[in-house]
Structure 1
Amino acid sequence: MYMQFDAAREEARKERVNQEMKTEQRLKEKDREIAFWLSENVKIPQNEKDRVKSQIMRTVKRELEELRGGHVEEILSILPSELQSYLNSHMMWKKLKRVPKLDSLDEQVLKEL
């Protein structure tokens, strides 16, 4: 019985280690995806990028640990409301710059809009 218990315990430990490795790999993938998504969709001042990305990654890590996963596009919906608002307000700049008639306007004019 002891050998069976020991083997079961070792198997559970291996599964846990394997799950942790998968979670870490998924976190690395999400980190790259989020960095790309932020650069493409959100105009955040350079001095705030690391802080915002760190907040996002903490939330993503919690989600992955709870095995919910999620696509990078859906990350916004799981963030705290204040961070959602902050990102949404900065996402508008990139969206406005994609509008052909607005792409030549400078930031000050876009802010006024």
Structure 2
Amino acid sequence: MGANLFSNYGEAVAMILFGIGFGNLLLQSNLIKKIIGLNIMDTAIYLFLAEKGYIADRVAPIVTNGVQSMEAYINPIPSGLVLTGIVVSVSVSALMLSITIRLYQRYHTLDLDEISIRLKKEGL
């Protein structure tokens, strides 16, 4: 088991990071900390995809020196998914932070429990 874990340490680190982010998302009531937890989860998924797409002793799929054999190159799809995911993640993070700023301006707190109590008092 130890040798198998050592050869797959990237995947293990990705799962640990995902667990840290998920725990942070569930246990924190501060909105900024929840956003950080979601970003940690995103990063863990990107790390996992990058680890799964990597094949030892292969290079990026750019034809050089006339080598066209598929066995010489890695699969480019996980890399494309990671790049697309990073762009989407940045956009989602910006939207979450802007909504958090608006909530702070209205309720003067970032505590989600306090915001929900105030919403119930307002009747919304």
Please, what TM-score do these two structures have when normalized by structure 1? 0.37
Please, what TM-score do these two structures have when normalized by structure 2? 0.35
* Higher helix proportion (structure 1 or 2): 1
Instruction: Pick 1 or 2: higher relative contact order, CA cutoff 8 A, min separation 6.
Output: 1
